[in-house]
């Protein structure tokens, strides 16, 4: 398995309360050179949010939606 600045053997190394991202070009799009952003955020409770999207901005928007859903779920308890 490949090691990147975000993973070791495919496992996220994002510390609690931090976020990381990196851009990559998948093998199936090398001819078109379409890039994607891999984004990881580990919440203070240790839960990992991870996504892949065309832009960092879209990844952050998805993270914000996830956080909103997570917050609403915790409030209902």
Residue in 58, 57, 40 with CA at minimum distance from that of residue 48: 40
pTM of the predicted model as reported, rounded to 2 decimal places: 0.82
3 state SS of 71: helix
> Domain extents for the chain?
7-76
Question: What pLDDT digit, counting tens, does each position of 13-39 carry?
Answer: 899 999 999 998 888 766 778 899 999
CA 48 to each of CA 28, 31, 35, 40, 72: distance values in angstroms, whole numbers, following the listed order:
27, 32, 23, 7, 17
d(CA 72, CA 35): 33
Segment 56-74 mean pLDDT: 93
């Amino acid at each position: 398995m490949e090691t990147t600045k975000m993973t070791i053997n495919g496992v996220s190394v994002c510390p609690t309360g931090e976020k990381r991202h990196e851009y990559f070009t998948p093998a199936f799009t090398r001819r078109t050179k379409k890039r994607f952003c891999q984004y990881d955020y580990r919440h203070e409770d240790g839960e990992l949010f991870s996504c892949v999207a065309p832009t960092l901005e879209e990844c952050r928007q998805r993270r914000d939606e996830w956080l909103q859903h997570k917050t609403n779920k915790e409030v209902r308890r």
